[in-house]
Amino acid sequence: MPVFKSPVGNKLARDAGQVWPAPWEDKNPYGNVYEINGHEARHPGADLNIAGGDLNEKVFSMGPGVVEFAKEIGGDSLWGNVVIINHGIVDGKPLYSRYAHLLSIEPGIKKGAEVTADKLIGRVGSGPAGSGMDPHLHFDISTTDKLAENAGDWPGMNQARLQTDYVDPKKWLKASHVINRDATGAQVTAEPAGPGPMGRTLRTTGIPVTASIIDWFVIARPTTELRKELSKPTGNTLPFSFSFPLESNPQLVLHERFLWVQISDGPLKGHWVKYSNESKSEIYVSSTRPAS
Ligand SMILES: [Zn+2]
């Protein structure tokens, strides 16, 4: 199962599994009863906002898939421009994500187009002209084929329908970061608490990793930065490969745009190791001691 991410926020935060990445907040959470067009409804997804304004902010596909729908839903509806992505069968069920009230849809985002995770699909808007809505992203996730049948599907006050056709997007995205598979297809069955990048980047020996019963070893490569103190970079980079144990629930800290993990034991206890995809630093985690 691929990893799915927040549709808003910067890449680091989305990669780290933050839902929702600050300064985004959900002003109308899943299941919330609210009033729309003079009627009460239970909200099937999230209304993602930035307090200072979010018009024209980027909206990304939450994961790989194929565009199912990408156009304006007209008439009297408040939908405006809507994109729906079909993510295929995930965990034995259909999976669709919907992004609504968009200011614009990106060129190339058309029915049948393939998208990758992180693909820019549109910009945050406020629905059709004259809607009176504040700009925000309406985002929801369905695990049935409802959104393929009707792009404007809306369960209204029907709670049974809501629970059948829509999932809590925050919970679902968080779970996606935990239940993950590494490059070999081996399922990583446990992930450290916290921002969550380890689950995505674990390279295991192919054996399912259960954090509670193993000691993990991290191999720092020559490009992996190691610091004695998080805030003092000078002179702390070690120019060789080595490995060391890491506790099963390492503390992860966001610092200088990188995620850092502190070594919990051994001769390098207390040092910090930088985690980053972009810098090509690599942290390997293994259930057996790797050769240095
Ligand atoms: Zn909404």
Residues 162 and 218 in one domain: no
Q: Measured in angstroms, how far is the CA atom of residue 259 from the centroid of ligand 1?
A: 32
pLDDT for 278:
44
Residues 245 and 122 in one domain: no
Q: Measured in angstroms, how far is the CA atom of residue 194 from the centroid of ligand 1?
A: 28
Report how far residue 82's alpha carbon sits from residue 71's, in angstroms, rounded to the nearest whole number.
6
Domain boundary among 149, 174, 199: 174
* pTM to 2 decimal places: 0.64
Q: Measured in angstroms, how far is the CA atom of residue 29 from the centroid of ligand 1?
A: 9
Q: Measured in angstroms, how far is the CA atom of residue 50 from the centroid of ligand 1?
A: 14
Q: Measured in angstroms, how far is the CA atom of residue 183 from the centroid of ligand 1?
A: 35
Residues 152 and 276 in one domain: no
Q: Measured in angstroms, how far is the CA atom of residue 139 from the centroid of ligand 1?
A: 7
The residue range of the domain holding 71 is: 11-174
Residues 138 and 231 in one domain: no
| Confidence band, pLDDT 50/70/90 cuts, at residue 31 | very high
The answer to whether position 179 is within a domain reads: no
Please answer whether residues 27 and 49 qualify as being in contact, where contact means their C-beta atoms are separated by less than 8 angstroms.
yes
Q: Measured in angstroms, how far is the CA atom of residue 26 from the centroid of ligand 1?
A: 10
pLDDT at residue 189 greater than cutoff 60: no
Tell me the CA distances in angstroms from 69 to 7, 51, 168, one per residue in order. 17, 29, 21
Mean pLDDT for all residues in the chain: 77
Of residues 280, 270, 286, 282, the one with CA closest to residue 236:
270
Domain boundary among 120, 155, 174: 174
Q: Measured in angstroms, how far is the CA atom of residue 43 from the centroid of ligand 1?
A: 6
The answer to whether position 3 is within a domain reads: no
Q: Is 44 helix (H, G, I), strand (E, B) or coil?
A: coil
Q: Measured in angstroms, how far is the CA atom of residue 140 from the centroid of ligand 1?
A: 8
- Comparing 167-171, 246-250, 266-270, the range with the smallest average pLDDT is 246-250
Q: How far is CA 276 from the centre of its chain?
A: 16
pLDDT at residue 135 greater than cutoff 70: yes
Q: Is 107 helix (H, G, I), strand (E, B) or coil?
A: coil
Per-residue H/E/C for 200-255 = HHCCCCCCCECHHHCCEEEEECCCCCEECECCECCCCCCCCCEEEEECCCCCEEEE
Please answer whether residues 44 and 150 qualify as being in contact, where contact means their C-beta atoms are separated by less than 8 angstroms.
no
Residues 145 and 252 in one domain: no
- Other CB atoms closer than 10 Å to residue 76's CB: what's the count? 6
What mean pLDDT do residues 193-216 have? Answer: 33
Domain boundary among 119, 152, 174: 174
- How many independent structural domains does the chain possess? 2
| Protein residues near ligand 1, an ion, with CB under 5 A | 47, 138
The answer to whether position 46 is within a domain reads: yes
